[in-house]
Amino acid sequence: MYFTEEPDPIRQLRETLRRFVEDELPPDLRRQLDREHRFPPELFRKLADLGVCGLTIDEQYGGQGVDLVAAVATIEELCRGGAFLAGPFIHCAFYGGMNMMENGSDEQKEAYLPRLANGDLLFAYGLSEPEVGGDLASVTTTAELSEDGQHIKVNGFKRWCTGADWVDYIYTLVRSGPEEDRYRNLSFLLIPPTLLGVQVNSIEHSNLRYTLSSDVIFDDVEVPVANIVGGSEMWNRGWSLLAGRALDVEKIEITAVTFGIAQAAVEEAWEYAGQRRQFGKPISAHQAIRHDLADARTKLEACRLMLYRAAWLANENKPCSVETSMAKLFVADTAVEIALICQRVMGAYGLAEGYDMERNVRDLLGMPIVGGSSNMQKNNIANRLGLATEDAR
């Protein structure tokens, strides 16, 4: 599929979203939102009314039917206007929709998926902690089952929980049994951040400023057992939910953001180079700039192929853990190269207010870290392809 013309429905979806971003998210508004660290909820509502939040959800639950290629195209098009709409779309369609489709119990699917498909429910990820980055199996936030087996008490500290101040549920990874069983005694819980005992403190940061990221402190927070992701039988079996298909799709979603923003950077630099004149001609007529831009376009094209092939494999339900890690690794690292090329082409204006470039560069610099660092992707690729591990003698 990824070497042929796009099917008509995806082409039409792109056209609709491109117009939507042009009309609703003009450059001045993007810059204001970046300064204010927020996205406009009313605009997300309008976007959701186009039906895109259902692209990760089966029709029986009110979705459009799972179409990961279309969902990736949606992220790509939204990122022409930065992460201000792509961000909340992901909190709904991926953190919520995809995870519930893949990992929810029947009751949870019935309860949450129709609302997610409508864009009425938003999730955040509560994985990282102050002492836990890539090594997620060592989370220390604890979850204890009550004696009557009806409730769970949560204590601990999550960090970098993006959207914790406005989502409906934090999809939270907790240690639910003894630590010695490193991968076994973990569970996922759905925790509303409005519950008694939850404290949310924002963290200032320079990238992906469609919202704040936050520290979230759980102090004797009580949730019903109904909030164990996958139902009671998944208690202590959360690692399989993290390491499964949902993780492959998660890598694709952040890679789509990276690609979309890199594309916006190339297009801005391209246009600028045609208009800016130095030494009597457009700078795009100077060979060094021509070559820079040709390089950036070529790298971008390679990123497109990696991303859409991985999305297509995932959509076909084919094994794709290696391909999704390769796409995440390659696109994130290459997008940093693209960002720096494009910023240089724009000279001082690549660092200034009044253009999207400096924000796009800030966003792209973080991509080899967020959502699983480049080194973690290399570890995954090496492990999956059977290289000897560093621990092996």
Ligand X SMILES: Cc1cc2nc3c(=O)[nH]c(=O)nc-3n(C[C@H](O)[C@H](O)[C@H](O)COP(=O)(O)OP(=O)(O)OC[C@H]3O[C@@H](n4cnc5c(N)ncnc54)[C@H](O)[C@@H]3O)c2cc1C
Give the interface with ligand X as residue ranges (CB under 6 A): 124-128, 133-134, 160-162, 205, 207-208, 213, 366, 369-373, 375-376, 379
Task: Report how far apart, in Å, the C-alpha atoms of 68 and of each of 7, 64, 219, 325 are.
Answer: 13, 11, 38, 16
Judged by beta carbon, residue 134 or residue 319, the one nearer ligand X is 134
Q: Are strands 169-175 and 186-191 parallel, antiparallel or unpaired?
A: antiparallel
Judged by beta carbon, residue 116 or residue 127, the one nearer ligand X is 127
Judged by beta carbon, residue 176 or residue 284, the one nearer ligand X is 176
Q: How far is the CB of 383 from ligand X (least distance, A)?
A: 11
DSSP-assigned states of every residue in 273-296: HHH-EETTEEGGGSHHHHHHHHHH
Q: How far is the CB of 260 from ligand X (least distance, A)?
A: 16
Q: How far is the CB of 214 from ligand X (least distance, A)?
A: 9
* Residue showing the smallest CB distance to ligand X in the complex: 133
Helix (H, G, I), strand (E, B) or coil at 235: coil
Judged by beta carbon, residue 73 or residue 364, the one nearer ligand X is 364
Judged by beta carbon, residue 64 or residue 172, the one nearer ligand X is 172
Q: How far is the CB of 138 from ligand X (least distance, A)?
A: 10
Residue 350 near residue 361, CB atoms below 8 Å: yes
Q: Of all helices (H) and strands (E), which one includes residue 11?
A: helix 8-24
Q: Of all helices (H) and strands (E), which one includes residue 201?
A: strand 198-203
Q: How far is the CB of 152 from ligand X (least distance, A)?
A: 20
Judged by beta carbon, residue 56 or residue 377, the one nearer ligand X is 377
SS (H, E, C) 131-186: CECCCHHHCCCEEEECCCCCEEEEEEEECCCCCCCCCCEEEEEEECCCCCCCCCCE
CB-based contacts of 387: which residues, under 8 Å, 6+ apart? none
Q: How far is the CB of 366 from ligand X (least distance, A)?
A: 5
